[in-house]
Amino acid sequence: MTDPWFAAIQEILDAAHLLRPDRLAGTIADAAARLGLRTRIWLVDYEQVRLHALGQPGSETPEPLPIGASLAGRAFARVASIRGDGGRWWVPMVDGTDRLGVIEFAPDDPARSGDDLPLARCELLAGLAGHLIAGLTSRGDHLHRARRTQPITPAAELLWQLLPPLTASCDQAVVSAVLQPCYEVGGDGFDYAIDGDTVQLVILDAVGKGVAAGVACAVALAAVRAARRNGRDLADQAQAADTALSEQFPEGRFVTAVLAELRLDTGALRYLNAGHPEPLLLRSGRLVRELPEGRRLPLGFDDPQIRVAEESLEPGDRLLLYTDGVTEAHTRGGERFGLERLVDLVEQNAAAGLPAPETLRRLAHAVVEHQGAAPGDDATLLVLEWSAAAARNTVPEGGQR
Amino acid sequence: MILSVGTEQVSDAVTVLALTGEMDRDSSDVLGEAADVVLHGGCTQLVLDLSRLTFCDSSGLNLMFRLHRRLAALGGALYVAAAQGVVLRSIEVVNLSRAVGVHLTVADAVSAASV
């Protein structure tokens, strides 16, 4: 006899070929119902403040849940399954290690205790749902809309379509990023590539605001990415961006950037700084130093004299890249967020053992809160953590039983 | 007006533009227009006196790079002088000195421009 869980997974995968994105939650709920389970899919919004339930036939859609003050949010934040009331389990839903939301699993007979839920299998189903959501999102607008709480600007729409997932890990490292304000961002961007023993990173900040800044950022990002995929090294990647920006903006429009490359087998770091705030090297939760070398002109202005800088990282080190919208964020009274506050918060969150994407989520919200109602620049953070334990911390694993 | 620009022609080729106030995306046009006028008048060595500039965002820095590019195309050069505090820090972050002469005083910049 076929394992009913195998049959449920088969039913979902068979349906996925022709599935409309708005039917995904119902399809999973129908398959789960044959296993004696009720499911509800919750997606995180772009601002990473609340989880929003996807609608499914035959039930009312519940109100959003705050990440900072709910069990669902705790499961999302920690990337760990958490037991709720009524025999319920909140199970994190990721695509790889990119946090998409949570799935709520409950026995369809409320008298049954949650101890009866096969948690490992629920986590497997949540993993499948995460991959399906990532794949189905581009089929329609439904899943995009489900994660947005405000209208988005054309510049932000352009940018989000260019960016890779916010978090990606391999067995030895985590890369994670966060951008604010997510519905109006225009000039900031990032990219990364994890291949073999190398992780490559770039963070970008285009001058100005709105679509012009978004286009400049997009041109620079695409040029760097194309050169990288064409097998060119860091200096060539930067030069490719110079050429592309000069062609697009003959009068001159710059994009500041840091390009970096870490060897996971040796810890050798190479980097270039094109007129951007210096990368921060953090060790054991403390700032070791700002990395001051590898300077060249901002992207868009050819600088033939460049020398790629080198640095040795130790296992467990973090490399934190940020745009000046983070440190320059200020209250109406003019008090800057500043580097010290940024480093303090990274230290606190590191001590709390939070996954890298959760640390960045909290940092980004601290910047937004610091600004209050004051108008802000784009603020982006990108972290590379060279640690197998940190990588495991981004993977859903077991429950907190 | 949060930015004002004073013009002082030192010689046929050398002009000093003195900036007072804050330069950002909205106000940087004031410098752009003043520079247009002196470049059309034959200036090829342009000195920016930043001693009374109290703030400069990336749009202002971008304008300096643009002026550098225009002047270099004319066979001339841009010089910046006497930047203070946060303005100096911004100029350092974008590595402006790799493209443009950055001088402590206006007098230093003018003598470099007059060689």
Domain count, chain B: 1
Which value, in Å, is the radius of gyration of the alpha carbons in chain B?
A: 12
Residue A322 binned pLDDT confidence (cut-offs 50, 70, 90): very high
- Please count the residues of chain B: 115
Residues of chain A with CATH 3.60.40.10: 154-392
Question: Which of A84-98, A149-163, A361-375, B46-60 is least confident?
Answer: A361-375
pLDDT tens string A134-174: 999 999 999 999 999 999 999 999 999 999 999 999 999 99
DSSP secondary structure letter of residue A328: T
Query: What three-state secondary structure class fits A338?
Result: helix
| Number of residues that make up chain A | 401
Average pLDDT over residues A175-194: 94
- B79 pLDDT band (50/70/90 cuts)? very high
* Mutation target vs A (from B26, B62, B90; most A CBs, 10 A cutoff): B62
Say if B1 falls within a structural domain.
no
Residues of B in contact with A300 (CB under 8 A): 65
* 3-class state of residue A261 by DSSP: strand
Specify the higher pLDDT residue, A264 or A332.
Answer: A264
Give me the interface pTM, i.e. the ipTM. Answer: 0.89
Side chain identity at residue A152, one-letter code: I
A398 pLDDT band (50/70/90 cuts)? low
Residue A400's pLDDT band, with cuts at 50, 70 and 90, is very low
Mutate to test the interface with B, among A207, A242, A256 (most CBs of B within 10 A): A207
pLDDT of residue A401: 37
Is B20 within a domain? yes
Q: CA B81 → CA A62, A298, B109, distances in Å?
A: 62, 20, 6
Residues A35 and A50: their CA atoms lie apart, in Å, by 29
pLDDT at A207 over 60: yes
CA distance A116 to chain B (A): 59
B62 belongs to a structural domain? yes
- Secondary element (H or E) of residue A79: none
Asked if the structure places residue B96 within a domain, the reply is yes
Residues 6 or more apart whose Cβ sits within 8 Å of residue B59:
A207, A208, B23, B24, B25, B28
Q: In chain B, what residues touch A295 (CB-CB under 8 Å)?
A: 95, 98
Distance of CA B67 to the CA centre of its chain: 8
**Could you list the residue range(s) of the whole structural domain that residue B79 is in?**
8-114
User: Which pLDDT score is estimated for A87?
Assistant: 87
Contact A298 B99 (CB under 8 A): no
CB-side neighbour CA atoms (13 Å) of A230: 11
Higher pLDDT pick, A399 / A204: A204
pTM of the model: 0.94
Band of pLDDT at residue A195, cut at 50, 70 and 90 = very high
| Amino acid identity at A352 | A
Buried b (16+ CB within 10 A) or exposed e, A96-107: ebbbbbbbbbbb
Asked whether the beta carbons of residue A207 and residue B62 sit closer than 8 angstroms, the reply is yes
Residues of A in contact with B25 (CB under 8 A): 208-209
Q: Over the stretch A87-100, which tens digit does the pLDDT of each residue have?
A: 899 999 999 999 99
- Distance in angstroms (rounded) separating the CA atoms of residues A276 and A297: 9
pLDDT at B1 over 70: no
**CATH of residue B85:** 3.30.750.24
Instruction: Indicate the range of A114-118, A261-265, A328-332 predicted with least confidence.
Output: A114-118
Would you say residue B33 lies in a domain? Answer: yes
**What integer is the mean pLDDT of A107-114?**
74
CATH of A154-392, one of 3.90.870.10, 3.30.559.10, 3.90.1200.10, 3.60.40.10: 3.60.40.10
The beta-carbon neighbor of A208 closest among B59, B65, B93 is B59
Nearest to A330 by CA among A369, A303, A285: A369
Whether the link from the prior residue into A164 is cis, omega within 30° of 0, is: no
Assess A118–B contact: CB distance below 8 Å, yes or no: no
Asked if residue B41 has pLDDT above 50, the reply is yes
Residue A116, pLDDT score: 73
Residue B3 lies in a domain: no
**What three-state secondary structure class fits A209?**
coil
pLDDT band at A334 (very low <50, low <70, confident <90, very high): confident
Question: Does residue B73 form part of some domain?
Answer: yes
B69 CB neighbours in chain A (<8 A) are: 251-252, 301
Interchain CB distance below 8 Å, B93 and A303: no
The answer to whether residues A44 and A101 touch, using CB atoms and an 8 Å cutoff, is yes
User: Number of residue pairs across A and B with CB atoms under 8 Å?
Assistant: 52
Q: Give the amino acid at A150.
A: Q
- Segment among A26-40, A242-256, A309-323, A339-353 with least mean pLDDT: A339-353
Among the partner residues A207, A253, A297, nearest to B95 by beta-carbon distance = A297
Q: Which one of B54, B69, B98, B102 makes the best mutation probe of the A interface by having the most chain A beta carbons within 10 Å? A: B98
Tokens of A152: 């988005």
Beta carbons of B94 and A254 less than 8 Å apart: yes
Q: Contact B37/B9 with Cβ under 8 angstroms?
A: no
Residue B101 covered by a domain: yes
Contact call for B61 and A296, based on CB within 8 A: no
The mean-pLDDT minimum among A101-115, A131-145, A232-246, A248-262 falls in A101-115
What DSSP element (H or E) covers B114?
helix B106-114
pLDDT(B27) > 80: yes
Q: What's domain A4-146's architecture?
A: 2-Layer Sandwich (3.30)
Helix (H) or strand (E) holding A11: helix A4-16
- Give the pLDDT band (50/70/90) at residue A115: low
Residue numbers of A between 320 and 349 with CB closer than 8 Å to B: 324
CB-nearest partner of B94 from A251, A253, A298: A298
Q: Taking Cα atoms as reference points, which of A10, A350, A385, A323 lies closest to residue A170?
A: A385
Q: Say what the pLDDT of residue A45 is.
A: 97
Q: How far apart are the first and last CA of chain A?
A: 31
How is residue A63 annotated by DSSP? P
Bridge partner residues of A384 (DSSP): A175, A319
CB contact under 8 A, B61 and A205: no
